Amino acid sequence: MLGSESDHPHELEILGAESDCSYLDGRKSLMRYRIAMTLSAERYEFLLERGWRRFGRTMFRPECRACSECQSLRVDINNFKPSRSQRKARNRNSDIQLIVQPPTVSDEHIDLYNAYHLDMHERRNWPYRQIDVPQYHESFIEGEFSFSREFQYRRNNKLVALGIVDMTGSVMSSIYFFHAPEYRENALGTMSVLREIETGQQSGHQWLYMGYYISECGSMNYKNRFEPHEILDEYVTDDLPAVWNDPKPA
């Protein structure tokens, strides 16, 4: 069940237009949006628990009429145990330095972002357009929320990957990640999630929200490999409790 409008005074709610799904062929996508004029850490945690995601000031979650494949997934940070392949990915990239700081934008950011998306366009037929500084700022920096961070990954001082991660007092949310195409075989995506979890363990965070898990989509079905994790039962209105379940049988 989804609400039609937000009654929060600092959020404007909009139902988007139906379009072709970016993840599953032959499916239609419908998204609900909330534009946050302000966003406290407490309010953000409340929305994350109900399956909302954030890009800049824009919050969103699916409201597809004939599909429910997008499942919100969160990893239990303190009980996480890496698998053998995940440990290999971590060790393979042990020389990469992690720098955590508020989000910034530079030519280095833009070049890396565009190189990654051109590679994904050529390999996986992602739609491609060059991003510039204002567009990057709108997606990842606008609002300048106090809980927003960028995770810079540098090898020999060269920026080889970057993740946008939100960190409130008790939870984290993995927003976006991109990397240099020449390091594609190094499993930098797996490494980045491990580094986020390790950071959360050191800082006492409880959950890492990883966005939408889609079992039939190659770009989105890796998320359930990080265990233990929980799946949101359904997208509920603000006045109802959010129910998360362990997908593994008892």
Q: Give the pLDDT confidence of 118-153 residue by residue, as tens digits.
A: 998 888 777 888 999 999 999 999 998 999 999 999
Within a domain: residue 39?
no
140 within 8 A of 103, measured Cβ to Cβ: yes
Within a domain: residue 1?
no
CA distance 236 to 40: 20
Q: Which residue has the tokens 């970016």?
A: 22
Within a domain: residue 208?
no
Within a domain: residue 191?
yes
Within a domain: residue 31?
no
Within a domain: residue 178?
yes
Within a domain: residue 95?
yes
Within a domain: residue 142?
yes
Domain that holds residue 151: 84-203
What CATH number does the domain containing 154 carry?
A: 3.40.630.30
Neighbour-count burial for 43-57, b at 16+ CB within 10 Å, e otherwise: ebbebbbbbbbbbbb
Q: Give the pLDDT confidence of 6-52 residue by residue, as tens digits.
A: 568 889 999 999 999 988 989 999 999 999 999 999 999 999 999 99
Q: Give the pLDDT confidence of 58-82 residue by residue, as tens digits.
A: 999 999 999 999 999 999 999 999 9
Burial classification of residue 37, based on how many CB atoms lie within 10 Å of its CB (0-12 exposed, 13-18 middle, 19 or more buried): exposed
The count of domains in the chain is 1
The DSSP secondary-structure symbol of 30 reads: -
Give the global pTM. Answer: 0.92
